[in-house]
Amino acid sequence: MKDFKNVWIFAQTQHGKLSPTAYELLTAGRQLADDLGEKLCAVLLGHNVQPFAQDLFACGADIVYVCESPALENYVDDIYAKVLADMVAQYKPNKFLLPATNLGRSLSAKTAVFVGTGLTADATEVKINKEDGQLHATRPTFGGNLMATITCAHTRPEMCSLRPMSYEKAPAKAGKKGEIISFAFNPTKHTSLAKFLEFIKSEGTGLDLSEASVIVAGGRGLGKPEGFELLKKLADRLGGAVAASRAPVDKGWIDYRYQIGLTGRTVKPKLYIACGISGQIQHMAGMSGADVIVAINKDPQAPIMQVANYAVQGDLYDVVPAMLEALK
């Protein structure tokens, strides 16, 4: 295992854009690399993705591995995983971080199987044990009631998918340079029985939750799906986005892509307004990083009322219209 060196991060790209998760992984990866005294490397797969290498250098990468091919323009997990497995076999990274996005969760699992190593999925924190150099990856377990720290003692690389927004984005440093290493795509080896046909964009409205500085979220206390229309008015007035706890999603009141929590999205807005949300630990795992939390709930003993910066005891159907009136 001494042959395995350096910390890798997977820089996800889709539809001609570099995912913000790449900059978050660079922050986490930089800490690991510095503790190990190793280099921080990023991996780019796709078509015409090499220009993103300079952004990765500016934000901390020392080396960027690039595999480009028209066959990689659209994501197919078998193909991507086979390319990554071959890159791992050739360059032998010590640690490998991937984003726990929909794409990253699938890719990390398949890559770990092809490589024959362990994977800690959906972690929220990663550290190096300075006694033995092992990766300690921490993730919620038992429905979010406990945090488990997982290690991979006997195989390399140690792989981990990290939840988006668990780390701040790495700041850019103008003029920073690095080394680009090209990896050849093998069309006879990097194949899949699956074939990409077309991309159909989900017809969502409003800001993406990952970009919103203000989020207005609704829970079971809304009592009806029409309650989200009221929350959208408040979100629009504040220039923010609408979200939900798990209960409204399970009831079919709102689409899953708006769900915040352990089984949904993790967000870090400047302002989070929770309306009719009790604040179970599974939900708070996804929004506790907000700068300011405002809770509106009839129950003063609700868990979210105990962690909120501002707790408003009352009926949301009275409080939210009053807020809208005050915000005119």
Q: What is the 3-state secondary structure (H, E, C) of 90-101?
A: HHCCCEEEEECC
Topology match between the domains 7-182 and 214-326: yes
Class of domain 214-326: alpha beta
158 Cβ contact list (under 8 Å, min separation 6)? 94, 95, 96, 117, 118, 134, 135, 137, 151, 152
Say how many Å lie between the first and final Cα of the chain, rounded: 63
- φ and ψ at residue 282, rounded to 5 degrees: -65, -35
Check residue 41 and give its pLDDT.
Answer: 98
- φ and ψ at residue 98, rounded to 5 degrees: -130, 155
Dist. CA 132–CA 293, nearest whole Å: 40
- Asked whether the beta carbons of 290 and 273 are under 8 A apart, the reply is no
Name the band, by pLDDT with cuts 50, 70 and 90, for residue 299: very high
Beta strand extents in 75-213 (DSSP E only): 95-99, 119-123, 125-128, 135-141, 146-150, 158-162, 179-182
Dist. CA 227–CA 218, nearest whole Å: 8
Query: What is the third-level CATH fold of 7-182?
Result: Rossmann fold (3.40.50)
Classify 46 in phi/psi space as left (phi over 0), alpha (psi -120 to 50) or beta: left
Check residue 203 and give its pLDDT.
Answer: 64
Residue 22 belongs to what H/E stretch? helix 21-36
Check residue 206 and give its pLDDT.
Answer: 59
Look over the chain and give the mean of its residue pLDDT values, rounded to a whole number.
93
- Mean pLDDT throughout 6-29? 95
Check residue 207 and give its pLDDT.
Answer: 66
Which tens digit of pLDDT belongs to each residue from 204-260?
555 678 778 999 999 999 999 999 999 999 999 999 999 999 999 999 999 998 999
Dist. CA 212–CA 270, nearest whole Å: 8
Domain segments of the chain: what residues? 7-182, 214-326
User: Token pair 């090499």 is at which residue?
Assistant: 50
Check residue 160 and give its pLDDT.
Answer: 97
